[in-house]
Every structure is written in C-alpha cells, then in structure tokens.
A = this chain, B = another copy of it.
Amino acid sequence: MVVSKAWTLRQHFQGFPKASDFHLREETLPQPKNGQVLLEAVFLSVDPYMRPYSQTMMKEGDVMIGSQVAKVIQSYNPSFPVGCHVVSDCGWRSHWVCDGAELTPVLPDWPQDIPLSLALGAIGMPGLTALYGLEEVCEIKKGETLLVNAAAGAVGSVVGQIAKIKGCRVVGCAGTDTKVSYLKELGFDQVFNYKTATSLEESLREAAPHGYDCYFENVGGKFSSVVMPQMREYGRIAVCGSISMYNDTTPQTGILSTPQTVILQHTVQHHTTDRYTVHTTDGYTVHTTDGYTVHTTDGYTVHTTDGYTVHTTDGYTVHTTDGYT
C-alpha cells in the first residue's frame, strides 16, 4: 500500500491564485491489479490553462488537473515495465495507480542529455500547441510575418523557433528585458518589452510596417485589440490562450472588433492540442500519437524548483515552491 500526496483545490481561485487555495492531502492507494501500474511522479507541470480550466472542469476538493512525467515503479502491465517513463494526466499527485489506457510512453531511446521534463514542454503539449497553431490554424508559409506574444512562454518560445525554421520573419513581445534577451538569442527577428514600450501600437507597427500575416495569440484582452488592426488581408489568428484575462475578477472591456476585419477576411481559430494531427515535417521532429520523439530546436528553459517543473510562462503566479516529497 502506497500513500500518495496530492495537491487539491481547496477553493476556486478568485483573482490571482494564492497558496491557501491549495491543500496538500495524503491518500492511500490500492494495490495495483493485473493490467495496472503504480506511478511515481518525476516532474509535474504548472501551466496557464489550469487557471481557466479549473473553473469549468473542477469542483472544490478535487486534485489539481495537470500532466506529469512519471516513472513506473510497480507493473502488472507488460506494455509499461518497471523503470520506464510515461506522461500521465493524473494531476498533481506523487503516486497513482492506473491501467495503461491514459498513458503516453516516453520513448526508451530518449537521449540522456535532454531533460525528461521536456516531455511536458517543447516536446509535449506546449510544443504541440505551437506546432498545431502554426501548421493547422495559421498554415504559415515561408516569407510571412508572424507576431507571437507571451513569446518567452512554453508555447510562445516554440512558436517563434518553428516559424524561424519555416523561413518566416518573427516578431515577439514579452514582459521583461531578460525574456527579450532570451528571445533574441533564440533568433527572433524583432522583440520588444511591451511593459516598457511607450506605445504598443507603435512598437508593433515599427516591427512590421506592412502588418502581420499571422498572429499567435496567447494574451488576449486589450493587447489583442491593438494587434487586430495591424493584421494583413487574409490574416490568420491562432488563439491559444488569453493569459492577461485569467485572473480578472471582472471581464476586460475594450473596443469590439471592427468592420475592417470582415473586409480583410481574417480567420480566428481558438485551439488546444485536442485537435492535433500527426506531422512529419522537415527541420524538427515532432510528437506522434504513440510516444514522444526528441525535439532538436535550439533553446529551451527549464526551471526546477524542489522537484517541480515550472515553465517560463508570462504573468502566471501559481508556483509550487514547496517540494511535495
């Protein structure tokens, strides 16, 4: 019998999440049966989506939603032998008993020098979200100009890198000078700090005087309202998140879309990875439905704080600063 530790949502977030919204509880797990495995968490992911999804998918007292990289420590399922690593959606738990149906194996030939935590980042859901948004939603083409905001985030940083590989001009926005420097190192063509820019509108226009073909949108709200008039004809907008709004207690208001967006025939698609399809593209290796292969783009940032993986997301305040073990 194993005692698992699990972070639960004590109460729904109001405004910015705070430590007292969570509760760490212990639960005794059943002995795994035939076909089942016992998992031990190696990396938990903290992602911005948890903030809005918690409102709709969770009730108070539930274990926090989320993916983890876990190691199989007991196995009665030959597909998942002891010692192998998997990605599981079992939430913020130290241990879990399950069958293999919901598990994605991390490939056994995962290179030693690539952290396993990347299965939750550039090689996992955030990377796929970036890829899907660029390929399926934006149908991005060589030579086009792309804007991505929250560009130093788990998704945004991959978006910019893939777009560069595809021969696009990439403009990124981020909220600190450190992030701006990081994105320049990654090869973004133009990056600015939207918090210190005198005018977001002018900074965007200077970065792309002819406008944007594609806009990978992670921020929403007023930021988005400023970008929209600078989209070109047949502009494509992949809406992946709206992090500026997640902690709002009252919805943001602003100028609603104008008739101009009809004339210019913009397409806006809100997407998550639920819709992704399997790709085999040149220049980077991508996820397949039955496991992870290894990503080779330059530049990934992994912060490990007491055993948790914290992505470099913009403005998100839930940090698991205390270890669970």
Interface residues of A (CB under 8 A from B): 51-53, 56, 220-222, 224-225, 239-242, 245-246, 251-272, 274-275
Contact = CB atoms under 8 A, between A and B. Distances in A.
Nearest to A264: B270
Contact of A246 (B240, B257, B259, B272): B259
B224 A256 contact: yes
Given A251-B255, A255-B251, A265 B260 contact: no
Contact of A220 (B51, B225, B253, B259): B259
Contacts of A256: 220-222, 224-225, 245, 251-254, 256
Given A268-B268, A272-B262, A272-B265, A253 B255 contact: yes
Contacts of A245: 256, 258-259
A52 B265 contact: no
B274 A270 contact: no
B259 A242 contact: yes
Given A246-B259, A256-B251, A258-B242, A270 B275 contact: no
Q: Is the interface of A mostly helix, strand, loop or mixed?
A: mixed
16 contacts: A51-B259, A52-B260, A52-B262, A241-B262, A242-B258, A242-B262, A252-B256, A262-B270, A265-B271, A265-B272, A265-B274, A266-B270, A267-B268, A267-B270, A268-B268, A268-B270
A12 to B, nearest CB: 14
A52 B257 CA distance: 13
Contacts of A263: 52-53, 56, 270, 272
A229 to B, nearest CB: 10
B221 A260 contact: no
A313 to B, nearest CB: 14
3 tightest A-B contacts by CB? A52-B259, A268-B268, A251-B255
